[in-house]
Structure 1
Amino acid sequence: MQPPLQQPIGFWTARAGEAIRTRTQSRLADVAVSQPEWWVLHQLSLHTAGMGEREMLATIGPNATDEIIAQAIDDAISKGWVERADGALTSTAAGRERFAVAADVQRELNAERRQGISDADYATTIEVLQRTIRNVGGDAWHW
């Protein structure tokens, strides 16, 4: 294998993204939550008074298509995790319980991904990726 400075960052970011998504989706499936449902439950955990559906779509938008997010909202409603009333989405008691279970999984996954990586190295990696995106004319953000 070539030395790291001669390897393409696009290759490694794509492989890392694929590996992380596959592992995350698998572990969330173990607790009966899809990744898009996790995004919905997570946003509602941050907006306890409720959140408009359009705001939800705009916030989660960089992760998937509007159709996938809308389906996750509908699925979470059908599972009794989310309620839609007066244009706002709110988490139910069952949704808050499911979020807590999935949040534990996400914490475990984060610890797994961060094994052997210092906080400084992790922060540097994020900053380098953000800078790389800007360098090629991209525009990315995370809530």
Structure 2
Amino acid sequence: MDNEKPMQPAIRQPLGFWTARAGEAIRNRTRGALAGLGVSQPEWWVLHQLSQHPEGIERAAMVEVVGPNESLEAIEIAIASSASKGWLVESGELLVPTEAGFEIFARAAGLQAELQAERMHGISEEDFVTTITVLQRTIKNVGGQAWHW
């Protein structure tokens, strides 16, 4: 930690505080790095789904899968901006990736791999899995719901 002030033992620390701070830090780092490529994070989510569906994906399916990451409005804006940047074309209800979309996806995917390696520095795969499992259980324990593809 950069903060040199003494803290309570981890067992007495508030989970909500740390999950919020972790989320903010990860989001800020990711969004800043992607911005260097001219890609917003919601556009990245759209590009990622298009990479999984090179033949195209229905708009409603895209919004359903990506929607939990952000507001539905932000996803619609990301679809529109991706289209205006030439990364996808709309063919009826299908969103179809373009060659430019595949190219920017490849660049952004490489960056995302670098960011994941950065986030995982000093963290074992086992600790990572435990953390995700604990967070999922905590959400369930407090009556929340969450899902990620």
- TM-score by length of structure 2 reads 0.95
1:10-25 equivalences in 2 (<5 Å): 10-25=16-31
Superposed CA offset, 1:78-128 (max 9, x none): 000011002100110000000000001100000000000001000000000
**CA-CA distance at 1:65 after TM superposition:** 1.0
Percent sequence identity is 59
In structure 2, the gaps of 5 or more residues are: 1-6
For the aligned residues, what is the CA RMSD? 0.6
User: May I ask how many residue pairs the two structures share in their alignment?
Assistant: 143
2:142 counterpart letter in structure 1? V
Match in the other structure for 1:126: 132
State the alpha-carbon separation in 1 of the partners of residues 100 and 80 from structure 2: 15
Deviation string 1:57-90 (CA, Å, 9 cap, x unpaired) is 1111111111111010000000000110021001
Unaligned segments of structure 1, at least 5 residues: none
- What is the CA-CA distance between 1:48 and the residue it aligns to? 1.5
How far residue 137 of structure 1 moved from its aligned partner, in angstroms, is 0.6
Of 49-58 and 102-111, the range deviating more from structure 2 = 49-58
CA offset at residue 47 of structure 1? 1.3
User: Aligned with 1:103: secondary structure?
Assistant: helix
Q: Counterparts of 1:1-143 in structure 2 under 5 Å? A: 1-143=7-149
User: SS at the partner of 1:67?
Assistant: helix
AA paired with 1:83? V
